[in-house]
Structure 1
């Protein structure tokens, strides 16, 4: 099959023929319909998330079940499915206690680029090729069944592809925030995750929803999708603006930028006694200092959130799509063939895209 392979960090992807083996126990082979391109993929390409090369990335996967391994019961051949970027084992302590987004087994292998048994299903010329959270930049992908959710037959697979990361991460952030009706919330970062979060905040009954970003066209998209106010952090002091517009700071700030500047911005802007939810992912080895005294004296609740629960939350997201309360297709700014993937990567790196769909 064809796949877009990263052979070395900071080099262009190469679309080439690779071998894919049959799915093993608990695994599913998916014929890929579309895969969203995310900044987490770009971090792999640049070596900031150091998955060993050669590697095939792509974790916002939609497609059709081609083949199932032994023991698979959640999906069958011919089912339309989406894959989450989290693939729970379903057996570890966190999985059985309702925290499958923090699966201990998956956490041990996700940056190694292998399945849960420690091996990969892709190879070329006898050499193993790794995959990052599914390896959807290819014609086929093999995913653990617990990472998959069946999609209704009348729902367009391209429309829902980005639920696998942007949607699930936004859902997890809003769920953990425990938003009460009328709460003032700021979302820092208006990429795929931020814009998903804004839509889900609106669906959850938040009051004022303030989008913070640097691109005017993305901030305009945020207003279209449910933000009540926007702050362009390149044009004004964002901390001052957030405090002034809210009379002391938002009750909750969801930080989706994933860098030192935006994390400090969130901590400096939140209301005394408020909550900061971190969902943006900086490079794997990033060390970001924070003002601990300010967090303590301000009684600020600082929490990290890694996505949502695929088997529990993804069906709810699909229902929100069906009801028209969340539109994942509003995040898509381009559609590219597999052979055009480097063009899509360049646009994302320049900040000229939100989510691009890579279509084999």
Structure 2
């Protein structure tokens, strides 16, 4: 099969012929219809998320089940599916206690680029092992654990729902963990695929004022289209001062989806006394972010880290929100590219000129 392979950090991807093995215990081979391109993939390409190359990235996968391995019960060949970026084992303490988004088994192999057993299913023709990042969807086929997959109803467009695999389920987890009460004021820092998903889901959850913060005028306009009541361009004004002024002391909740030192500090410094901060954006794994601990303590600020929703529980709910028109993942897609054009899509995302691009084998 063909795949977009990263051989060295900070170099363009190369389209290569890659050999793929059959799925093993509880694994599924998916014929890829479309995969969304996310900033988490960019972090792999530049080495900020140091999955060892050669590696195939791509984790917002939509496709059709081609083969199933031994023990698979959740899907069958021919099923139309989407894959979450989280692959729960279903057996560890967190999985069985209802926190499969924090699967310990998955966490142990996530940055190694292997399956649960420590091996890979991809090889170059010369025998070189090829790793995958959260599924390896920038290819014609991908091998994923069955618990990452959700069957998509026949009347839904697979390309449209592909971005549920990360942007959607990450946004769902963020809003769910924030425990939004009706009418609360919420600020969302970052208006990429995750931030714009959060805004739609906040509107669906009954939040009151929804304030979007970002640096690109066209993305802030998109935020207003999708449910934001106010926008703040962080390049044109002091965002902390502006947030406190427009909310008379700060938002009840700030959800940070930018993943930088600046945006994390912005979130904590701008929330009201007694407020809640949900951290969703992923800085590089080596990032060190200083915090004013005394201010956090004195102001009684709650800081929550959230690593997405639960694939087997929350993905079906997301599909229902799509069906009801309360969440439209198609609004996040700003371009579609063939596998051979993947580097063009990467460049646009790095420059901030895309929200979500679909890579279509």
TM-score category (smaller protein):
over 0.9
Whether 1:148 and 2:135 are equivalent positions in the alignment is: no
Whether 1:234 and 2:239 are equivalent positions in the alignment is: no
Structure 2 residue aligned with 1:190: 191
Deviations 1:41-90 (A, max 9, x none): 00000000000000000000000000000110000000000000000000
Tell me by how many angstroms 1:232 deviates.
Answer: 0.3
Structure 1 residue aligned with 2:272: 271
Whether 1:288 and 2:264 are equivalent positions in the alignment is: no
SS of match in other structure, 1:227: coil
Q: Distance in 1 between matches of 2:286 and 2:148?
A: 26
Q: Distance in 2 between matches of 1:15 and 1:72?
A: 31
SS of match in other structure, 2:86: coil
Q: State how 1:245-324 maps to structure 2 within 5 Å.
A: 245-324=246-325
SS of match in other structure, 1:18: strand
Q: Distance in 1 between matches of 2:291 and 2:78?
A: 50
Tell me by how many angstroms 1:127 deviates.
Answer: 1.1
Q: Distance in 1 between matches of 2:225 and 2:270?
A: 24
Structure 1 residue aligned with 2:334: 333
Q: State how 1:66-81 maps to structure 2 within 5 Å.
A: 66-81=66-81
Structure 1 residue aligned with 2:84: 84
Q: State how 1:58-69 maps to structure 2 within 5 Å.
A: 58-69=58-69
Q: Distance in 1 between matches of 2:161 and 2:66?
A: 19
Deviations 1:222-269 (A, max 9, x none): 000000000000001100110011110000000000000001101110
Q: Distance in 1 between matches of 2:353 and 2:145?
A: 33
Structure 2 residue aligned with 1:128: 129
Tell me by how many angstroms 1:285 deviates.
Answer: 1.2
Unaligned ranges ≥5, structure 1: none
Whether 1:25 and 2:15 are equivalent positions in the alignment is: no
Q: TM-score, normalised by structure 2?
A: 0.99
Deviations 1:110-141 (A, max 9, x none): 00000000000000111110000000000000
Aligned length: 360
Root-mean-square deviation over aligned CA pairs:
0.4
Q: TM-score, normalised by structure 1?
A: 1.00
Q: Distance in 2 between matches of 1:248 and 1:288?
A: 24
SS of match in other structure, 2:202: helix
Unaligned ranges ≥5, structure 2: none
Q: Distance in 2 between matches of 1:299 and 1:322?
A: 39
Q: Distance in 1 between matches of 2:353 and 2:147?
A: 34
Q: Distance in 1 between matches of 2:345 and 2:312?
A: 30
Tell me by how many angstroms 1:221 deviates.
Answer: 0.1
